[in-house]
């Protein structure tokens, strides 16, 4: 059952939970929920667009989306995530700003606890106490910004689309300018205006974020570096560590490959399977609005 149908059928609950499995490449087009939402990937990579900016949410992070905020999600890889919908009338002030943040072990344990049948059977006042702790944990959690800013300007968007399809393109700024019918100065000014960074840094960030998907494959670091257009794997490793504060290998092994899937959590008794609504979204686009 879709989230908004669940919300409509349970208007007096303080929160609702469900699990969602999005196949690689699935697009959940622009939509909004009347309740606040928390997205917590168990595995995979999710790219969410909110207010003309996009963030990548891996399984060591979560995304808080305020009620009535229009957003769009794209599964970069096969992605399985927990979704919580928080009633804005519950008395807990969750805030009005979207936030992508790191998930501490305590915050993860709290989210899993709220998916547990015995927890959901507690009196509403007890649940409010737990949700207040959840709110406080989100407020104090460190920001986790992995930018993949989608340009508004059509000339930059044309470059973005080509880089996404072919990240090893080695055009200079002058060649890109000729390719999209603009001057070098115009492209530089647009990057500064839209992203507050130089054209070369924006282009590098696009490549690095795209590499997150490649790191979920068995390809070697050297192969990934070459596919992205880097002259050497050491150049890629240096740039990756500067943006993500981890080497690609550490990110791959410590952050991507150590996730837990839903089957494992159910087997461990940390989530009660019969208490959550499950939805599998196959390839394609879900037109919402």
The predicted structure's pLDDT at residue 102: 84
> Nearest CA to 205 among 194, 216, 197?
197
Whether residues 138 and 271 share a domain: the answer is: yes
Whether residues 28 and 103 share a domain: the answer is: yes
121, 274 Cβ separation under 8 angstroms? no
The predicted structure's pLDDT at residue 75: 82
Other CB atoms closer than 10 Å to residue 203's CB: what's the count? 21
Whether residues 13 and 40 share a domain: the answer is: yes
Share of the chain above pLDDT 70, in %: 85
Whether residues 11 and 142 share a domain: the answer is: yes
In sequence order, the 6+-apart residues with CB closer than 8 A to the CB of 89 are: none
Whether residues 229 and 115 share a domain: the answer is: no
Token pair, residue 149, equals: 């800013």
The predicted structure's pLDDT at residue 275: 47
> What CATH number is given to the structural domain containing 189?
1.10.10.60
Whether residues 248 and 277 share a domain: the answer is: no
The structural domain count of the chain equals 2
**Confidence (pTM):** 0.69
Whether residues 85 and 24 share a domain: the answer is: yes
Residue 245 sits in which domain range? 154-256
> What CATH number is given to the structural domain containing 135?
2.60.120.10
> Nearest CA to 114 among 141, 142, 98, 137?
137
The predicted structure's pLDDT at residue 289: 37
Which residues of the chain fall short of a pLDDT of 70? 1, 147-150, 254-289
């Amino acid at each position: 059952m879709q989230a908004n149908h669940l919300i409509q059928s349970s208007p007096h609950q303080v929160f609702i939970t469900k699990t969602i499995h999005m196949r690689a490449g699935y697009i959940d087009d622009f939509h909004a929920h009347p309740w606040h939402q928390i997205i917590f990937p168990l595995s995979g990579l999710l790219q969410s667009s909110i207010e003309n900016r996009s963030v990548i949410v891996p399984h060591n992070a979560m995304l808080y989306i305020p009620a009535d905020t229009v957003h769009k999600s794209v599964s970069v890889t096969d992605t399985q995530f927990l979704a919580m919908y928080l009633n804005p009338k519950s008395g807990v002030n969750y805030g009005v700003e979207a936030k992508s943040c790191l998930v501490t072990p305590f915050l993860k344990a709290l989210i899993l606890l709220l998916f547990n049948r015995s927890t959901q059977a507690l009196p509403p006042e007890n649940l409010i106490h737990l949700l207040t702790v959840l709110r406080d944990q989100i407020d104090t959690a460190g920001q986790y910004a992995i930018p993949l800013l989608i340009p508004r300007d059509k000339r930059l968007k044309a470059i973005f689309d080509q880089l996404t399809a072919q990240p090893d393109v080695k055009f200079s700024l002058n060649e890109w300018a000729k390719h999209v019918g603009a001057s070098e100065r115009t492209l530089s000014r647009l990057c500064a205006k839209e992203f507050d960074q130089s054209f070369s840094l924006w282009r590098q960030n696009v490549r690095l974020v795209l590499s997150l998907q490649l790191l979920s494959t068995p390809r070697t670091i050297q192969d990934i570096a070459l596919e992205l257009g880097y002259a050497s794997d050491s150049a890629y490793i240096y740039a990756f560590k500067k943006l993500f504060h981890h080497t690609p290998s550490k990110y791959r092994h410590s952050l991507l490959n150590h996730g837990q899937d839903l089957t494992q959590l159910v087997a461990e008794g940390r989530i009660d399977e019969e208490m959550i609504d499950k939805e599998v979204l196959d390839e394609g686009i879900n037109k919402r609005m």
